Amino acid sequence: MIGNPPRTLFDKVWQAHVVLTREDGTSLLAIDRHFLHEGSHHAFAQLADKGASVARPDLTFGVADHYVPTRRGAGQVIDPAIAEMVERLERNTAKHGITLFGLGDPRQGIVHVVGPEQGLTLPGLTIVCGDSHTSTHGAYGALAFGIGASEVAHVLMTGTLWQKKPKTFRINVDGALGPGLSAKDIALHIIATVGADGATGHALEYAGSAIRALSMEGRLTLCNLSIESGARCGMIAPDETTLRAITGRPFAPQGALFDQAVEAWRQLPSDENAHFDREIMISASDIAPIVTWGVTPEQALPITARVPDPARETDPVRAEAARAALDYMGLTPGAALAAVPVSRVFIGSCTNSRIEDLRSAAAVLAGRKARVPGLVSPGSSGVKRQAEEEGLDRIFREAGLEWVESGCSMCVGMNGDIGQPGERIASTTNRNFKGRQGAGVRTHLMSPAMVAAAAISGTLADCRPFVEGRKA
Amino acid sequence: MKPFTRVTALACPLPIANIDTDQLIPARFMRRTRKEGYGPVLLHDLRFEADGSPKPDFPLNRPEHAGAGFIVARRNFGSGSSREAAVYALADYGIRAVIAPSFGDIFAQNAVNNGLLPVRLPEDAVENLILNLSAQPAPITVDLENTRVEAGGLTLPFVIDPVWRTKLLNGWDDLDLTLSHAAEIRAFMERDARARPWMAPSRTG
Ligand code: SF4
The full DSSP string for A348-385 is -TTTS-SHHHHHHHHHHHTT---SS-EEE--SBHHHHH
Q: What pLDDT sits at residue B2?
A: 86
Q: Choose among B9, B47, B6, B56: nearest CA to B26.
A: B47
- Judged by CB atoms closer than 8 Å, whether chains meet at A147 and B179 is answered as no
pTM higher than the cut 0.90: yes
Ligand 1 site, residue A349, Cβ cutoff 6 A: yes
Using the mean position of ligand 1's atoms as its centre, give its distance from the Cα of residue A232 in Å: 16
Least confidently predicted of A458-472, B12-26, B34-48: A458-472
What is the average per-residue pLDDT within A272-283? 97
Using CB atoms, pick whichever of A148, A250, A264 lies closest to residue B110: A148
- Judged by CB atoms closer than 8 Å, whether chains meet at B202 and A435 is answered as no
The atom number, within ligand 1, closest to the CA of A37 reads: 5
What is the average per-residue pLDDT within B118-144? 95
- Judged by CB atoms closer than 8 Å, whether chains meet at B181 and A39 is answered as no
Ligand 1 site, residue A66, Cβ cutoff 6 A: yes
Q: Judge if A9-278 and A289-467 fold alike in CATH terms.
A: yes
Please answer whether residues A52 and A157 qualify as being in contact, where contact means their C-beta atoms are separated by less than 8 angstroms. Answer: yes
Mean pLDDT of chain B: 94
What is the average per-residue pLDDT within A92-108? 96
Q: What pLDDT sits at residue B117?
A: 98
Residue A471, pLDDT > 80, answer: no
A435: alpha, beta or left? (left if phi > 0; alpha if psi -120 to 50): left
Q: What pLDDT sits at residue B177?
A: 85
Q: What pLDDT sits at residue A184?
A: 98
Cα–Cα distance for residue pair A446/A429, rounded to 1 Å? 8
The atom number, within ligand 1, closest to the CA of A431 reads: 3
Instruction: Give me the phi and psi of B179, to 5 degrees please.
Output: -65, -25
B194–chain A Cβ distance below 8 A for any pair: no
The full DSSP string for A247-275 is TT-TTS--HHHHHHHHHHHTT-SPPTT--
Ligand 1 site, residue A380, Cβ cutoff 6 A: no
Fold of A9-278: Aconitase; domain 3 (3.30.499)
Q: What pLDDT sits at residue B85?
A: 95
Q: What pLDDT sits at residue B204?
A: 47
Q: What pLDDT sits at residue A149?
A: 93
Instruction: Give me the phi and psi of B58, to 5 degrees please.
Output: -70, 130
Residue type, A48: A
Per-domain residue ranges for chain A?
A: 9-278, 289-467
Q: Which helix (H) or strand (E) holds B183?
A: helix B182-195
- Judged by CB atoms closer than 8 Å, whether chains meet at B178 and A160 is answered as yes
Residue B39, pLDDT > 90, answer: yes
Ligand 1 site, residue A412, Cβ cutoff 6 A: yes
pLDDT in tens, A196-251: 999 999 999 999 999 999 999 999 999 999 999 999 999 999 999 999 999 999 99
Instruction: Give me the phi and psi of B194, to 5 degrees please.
Output: -80, -40
pLDDT in tens, A340-391: 999 999 999 999 999 999 999 999 999 999 999 999 999 999 999 999 999 9
Residue A157, pLDDT > 70, answer: yes
Q: Is A394 buried (19+), middle (13-18) or exposed (0-12) by CB count in 10 A?
A: middle
pLDDT in tens, A37-90: 999 999 999 999 999 999 999 999 999 999 999 998 777 888 898 899 999 999
Q: Choose among A298, A229, A294, A302: nearest CA to A450.
A: A302
pLDDT in tens, A422-443: 999 999 999 999 999 999 999 9
Distance from CA of A163 to the nearest CA of B (A): 10
Distance from CA of A39 to the nearest CA of B (A): 8
CA distances for A243 relative to A8, A219, A238, A272, A379, angstroms: 20, 13, 7, 22, 21
The atom number, within ligand 1, closest to the CA of A112 reads: 5
Residues sharing a CB contact under 8 Å with residue A441, sequence separation 6 or more, in sequence order = A418, A419, A420, A421, A422, A423, A424, A425, A435
Q: Report the 10 Å Cβ neighbour count for A106.
A: 11
pLDDT bracket for residue A472 (50, 70, 90): low
Q: Choose among A127, A240, A182, A234: nearest CA to A445.
A: A182
What is the percent of chain A where pLDDT is above 70?
Answer: 99
Cα–Cα distance for residue pair A113/A247, rounded to 1 Å? 16
What is the CATH number that goes with domain A289-467?
3.30.499.10
What is the average per-residue pLDDT within A312-338? 94
What is the average per-residue pLDDT within B57-63? 95
What is the percent of chain A where pLDDT is above 90?
Answer: 92
Q: What pLDDT sits at residue A2?
A: 58
Q: Kindly state which CATH superfamily the domain B6-172 is placed in.
A: Aconitase, domain 4 (3.20.19.10)
- Nearest chain B residue to A262 by CA distance is B198
pLDDT bracket for residue B205 (50, 70, 90): very low
Q: Is B205 buried (19+), middle (13-18) or exposed (0-12) by CB count in 10 A?
A: exposed
- Judged by CB atoms closer than 8 Å, whether chains meet at B196 and A264 is answered as yes
- Nearest chain A residue to B17 by CA distance is A321
Cα–Cα distance for residue pair A112/A223, rounded to 1 Å? 11
Distance from CA of A1 to the nearest CA of B (A): 23
Residue type, A456: I
pLDDT in tens, A282-310: 999 999 999 999 999 999 999 999 999 99
Mean pLDDT of chain A: 95
What is the average per-residue pLDDT within B41-64? 94
Half-sphere exposure (CA, 13 Å, Cβ side) for B28?
A: 13
